[in-house]
Amino acid sequence: MMFNLQTSSTAMKLLPLACLCLLTQSGTTLADGQGPAIIKVKQGSDVILPCSLSNKDIEKERFEWKKDGQKDVFFYDGGTVDQQLEGRVSHFSDELQYGKASIIIRNTKVTDSGNYTCDFPLLQQSPVLIELVVEPVIVKVKEGSDVILPCSLSTKENIEYKLFDWKTDDQKEVFIYDAGKTYGPTKTGQDEQFKGRVSHFQDELQYGNASITIRNTTMTDSGDYTCEFPHLQPKQIFHIQLVVVGECFH
């Protein structure tokens, strides 16, 4: 079996407002340039969205983060905090005295991609603009090999009695697991393309591992896949891009 996860180097452009040059777990950095900052990060990584005033104490100030101009992400007002994005956002309280209003988004999802603004509405400051791009995991494999498409809950929650569903981007059913039941005599609907070629890791379910193996891959298997937990609160969706190549690759 041959497969590997492709990661990409990431770069950001320098913000017009003074901001932090921070390094995230995914290797995202800031670089000089024009326009809003662009941050690229691999799905599942933590990412810092930088924003600061020049050495001004903002412990008693108000600042707010929004996504795409409307959706509230994080709000701070003199000690009062309201954070959204399913409990995955936090700020750096010890850094407020130095004017740093940066936030961290944990366990990023493809759906986190978008345009973010950091605004100090009561101060004469222009909002900080950041474009976040969360890239799906990319799995590359040689045609004819078996491949594992990874999908695991960060909480390591036992999913033996849960439901998870794998589909392609055009909604073909790849694999479904429902509290012990998979495709067979009592559960139908799997697309013909994947019948008899897909399996999960039964012993790993107790650790939140919903990964699957596709055997004897073909070029037609290439595409975007989703691994979804529709009944979890909040709902969890993971995106994986599979690339099947016909010749050896590096």
Over residues 96-111, the mean pLDDT reads 94
Residues 99 and 58: beta-carbon distance below 8 Å: yes
- Which of these three, 135, 152, 184, is where a domain ends? 135
Q: Which pLDDT value is given to residue 4?
A: 40
- Are 58 and 31 members of one domain? yes
- Are 131 and 148 members of one domain? no
**How many folded domains does the chain comprise?**
2
> Residue 230 sits in a domain of what CATH number?
2.60.40.10
Say yes or no to pLDDT of 16 above 90: no
Q: Which pLDDT value is given to residue 55?
A: 79
Establish if 1 belongs to a structural domain: no
Residue with tokens 């777990």, as numbered in its chain: 25
- Are 51 and 128 members of one domain? yes
Establish if 189 belongs to a structural domain: yes
- Are 13 and 126 members of one domain? yes
Q: What domain range is 202 assigned to?
A: 137-245
- Are 122 and 191 members of one domain? no
CA distance 51 to 30: 12
- Are 99 and 126 members of one domain? yes
Grouping H, G, I as helix, E, B as strand and the rest as coil, residue 97 is helix
**pTM beyond cutoff 0.85:** no
- Are 88 and 19 members of one domain? yes
State the number of CA atoms in the 13 A half-sphere of 87 facing the CB. 3
Say yes or no to pLDDT of 14 above 80: no
Q: Which pLDDT value is given to residue 5?
A: 38
- Are 93 and 193 members of one domain? no
What's the pLDDT tens digit per position in 128-178? 999 999 999 999 999 999 999 999 998 899 999 999 999 999 999 999 999
CA distance 116 to 37: 10
The confidence band for 233, taking pLDDT boundaries of 50, 70 and 90, is: confident
- Are 113 and 147 members of one domain? no
What's the pLDDT tens digit per position in 105-140? 998 999 999 999 999 999 888 899 999 999 999 999
- Are 172 and 122 members of one domain? no
What is the per-residue burial (b if ≥16 Cβ within 10 Å, else e) of 88-111? bbebbeeebebbbbbbbbbbbbbe
Of the candidates 188, 163, 161, 49, the one whose C-alpha atom is nearest the C-alpha of residue 108 is 49
Say yes or no to pLDDT of 20 above 50: no
CA distance 229 to 159: 10
Residues 167 and 174: beta-carbon distance below 8 Å: yes
- Are 172 and 105 members of one domain? no
- Which of these three, 135, 161, 195, is where a domain ends? 135
What's the pLDDT tens digit per position in 30-89? 334 456 789 999 998 999 999 998 878 999 999 999 999 888 999 999 989 998 888 899
- Are 109 and 127 members of one domain? yes
- Which of these three, 113, 135, 157, is where a domain ends? 135
